[in-house]
Amino acid sequence: MIEHVAMPHGSVVLLEVEDLDAALAALPDAERAHAATLGELRRREHVTGRTALHVALDDFTTPILADDRGAPVLPAGWVGSVSHKGPRAAAIISPAGAGWVGLDLERAAPPKVDIARRILTPREQAALPGSDDDRGLAVTLRFAIKEAIYKAVDPYLRRYVGFTEVELELAGEHCVVTSALGLVIEASWRAHGGHWLATARAIRP
Ligand SMILES: CC(C)(COP(=O)(O)OP(=O)(O)OC[C@H]1O[C@@H](n2cnc3c(N)ncnc32)[C@H](O)[C@@H]1OP(=O)(O)O)[C@@H](O)C(=O)NCCC(=O)NCCS
């Protein structure tokens, strides 16, 4: 399965790999060597994510390794981000020079435990819908947006950023992001195939 979803920060490739061995064999040597060090579940998700990135780049030759914080290092001229959920991975790429991008994929379902107070500011909690199901979905969506933001800001900040260090105000499929991180941060989201898809871009003003 492969799909392309247009988002404001670039085209997202959504992918499920049917034949893991074939997908592994198509990756550059250095990526195959890294994949061999991973456990089975992690290897599957990593290979699916890397395959999605290579599809997005239309380049299966240049290896995409990770930096010291785990972010994918794209070929010169590109930035990009990956997310996995179960058998599915999503990847986004964007031309370098206009900040960093982040991406997150989450099932559009209420969280198994109530994480609202851990990940949302009091103002965000107060803005949640009233019904339990709608509230749960809204919490998962905000979680996805914040994880996408984290991936876009980490290359600048290179530190853990707490979930309540950014505040979201959703306006349709766009999002007003406020923080004291010293970066201009944009975020957007889509509902797609039973998942939340969130993308973000961060740039130093
Ligand atoms: C790193 C983190 C975002 C990963 O999210 P996740 O839901 O566990 O996993 P996902 O499948 O969505 O993403 C994993 C991918 O994130 C990428 N990633 C990992 N560390 C990263 C970093 N420091 N910066 C950017 N991308 C990173 C990698 O590409 C990884 O996949 P890969 O190892 O196969 O290449 C999450 O574990 C985390 O530590 N979050 C920090 C707190 C936070 O999100 N705060 C929000 C406030 S803005």
How does pLDDT run across 65-83, given as a tens digit for each residue? 999 999 999 999 999 999 9
How much is the pTM? 0.97
Instruction: Provide the residue range defining the domain that includes 182.
Output: 1-205
Tell me the average pLDDT across 149-153.
98
How large a percentage of the chain has pLDDT more than 90? Answer: 95
Burial class (CB in 10 A: 0-12, 13-18, 19+), 179: middle
φ, ψ dihedrals at 181, nearest 5°? -85, -10
The mean predicted confidence, pLDDT, of the chain is 96
Nearest-angstrom CA–CA distance, 183 and 186 = 10
Per the structure, how many domains does the chain have? 1
The pLDDT, as a whole number, for residue 189 is 97
Query: For the domain that residue 124 is a member of, what is the CATH number?
Result: 3.90.470.20
Burial class (CB in 10 A: 0-12, 13-18, 19+), 51: buried
Q: In the predicted model, is pLDDT for residue 109 greater than 90?
A: yes
Q: In the predicted model, is pLDDT for residue 62 greater than 90?
A: yes
CB atoms within 10 A of CB 64: 23
Residues with CB under 6 A from ligand 1: 46, 49, 66, 69-72, 81-84, 104, 146-147, 149-151, 154, 160-161, 163, 165-166
Q: How far is ligand 1, taken at its centre, from the CA of residue 198, in Å?
A: 13
* Residue ID of nearest Cα to ligand 1 atom 19: 70
Q: How far is ligand 1, taken at its centre, from the CA of residue 80, in Å?
A: 12
